[in-house]
Structure 1
Amino acid sequence: MSIWWSLHLRREAASVSLARRLLLGTMETAGVDPDISFDLSVALSEACANAVEHGGGADAPDETEAYHVTAYLDGDCCRIEVTDSGPGFPPATVARCRPALAEDGRGLHLIAELSDHVRFRNGPGRGAVVSFDKMLKWRDDALLKVS
């Protein structure tokens, strides 16, 4: 069985906890191991916080007041993608799968450490896209456990 959801969120701090709670609730209901759920929720929070802080632009304020979160639980994998309309990542960040630890970018490093696979890229016109996935472990009483 698969579950997926997509959110269109305003670039406000409160939207970060909304996305995190939705992910945690979905994973709890499905029966995902709490440690895996926690790791993914922290990674999602970092990606959303990055979109809130850096995901807008002064040249088109109406288009940049929102960002998108999509989450897929499919089989034994969860994939999450956060997309914004900001200026995008610097080329050095996009070139590496795991960003260097610097004054800025620690959240990206944390996402990379908490997930099994991560990709930082720029959108086709503008904006940053953070996608990451992690193999799921299931509780014994899981509703959607993959055999």
Structure 2
Amino acid sequence: MSIWWSLHLRREAASVPLARRLLLGTMETAGVDPDVSYDLSLALSEACANAVEHGGRQDSSTAYRVTAYLDGEKCRIEVTDSGPGFTRPQSARQAVRPVSDEAENGRGLCLIQELADHVHIGNKPGRRGAVVSFDKILKWKKDAPLMAV
């Protein structure tokens, strides 16, 4: 069975927990293992926080999009914004820069890289904006209602 949903969210801090709760609720209902759900929800929170922080003009009138796919044994999440995007094409490893221990931010892409199985970080093709997508192989609770067969 497949499930997918897409949200169009204002670039406001309050949108981040909304996306996270929707993902957690979907995964709990489907019967995904809580540890996998937590990892993906944390990665999603970081991607959304980046879109809110860097995804456009300094006001909150712009929006960003979150799309989640649970398909078979994999979950794929994509967060896109309409900001300036990345300054040059880069792989996920190049986009993730180490930060000092004293830094108060800058760890979001590193966390996503560690929590997901595959990460793609880039710009929207032919348009303005960044795309952060990641996926993870799902583990299921025993007798999960939507478990892949």
- Give the TM-score of the pair, scaled to structure 1: 0.91
Q: How many matched pairs?
A: 142
Specify every segment of 5 or more residues in structure 2 that has no aligned partner in the other structure, as ranges: none
- The sequence identity of aligned pairs, in percent, is 71
CA displacement at 1:90 relative to structure 2: 2.8
CA–CA distance in structure 2, aligned partners of residues 72 and 105 of structure 1: 27
Match of residue 97 from structure 2: 100
Displaced runs of 4 or more, over 2 A: 102-105
Residue type matched to 1:113 in 2?
Answer: E
Deviations 1:20-79 (A, max 9, x none): 000000000000000000000000000000000000126xx79x6100000000000000
CA–CA distance in structure 1, aligned partners of residues 142 and 119 of structure 2: 28
CA–CA distance in structure 1, aligned partners of residues 20 and 86 of structure 2: 23
Match of residue 77 from structure 1: 74
- Give the TM-score of the pair, scaled to structure 2: 0.90
| 1:134 partner SS | strand
Specify every segment of 5 or more residues in structure 1 that has no aligned partner in the other structure, as ranges: none
CA displacement at 1:89 relative to structure 2: 1.5
| 1:16 partner SS | helix
CA–CA distance in structure 2, aligned partners of residues 24 and 43 of structure 1: 12
CA–CA distance in structure 1, aligned partners of residues 83 and 55 of structure 2: 4
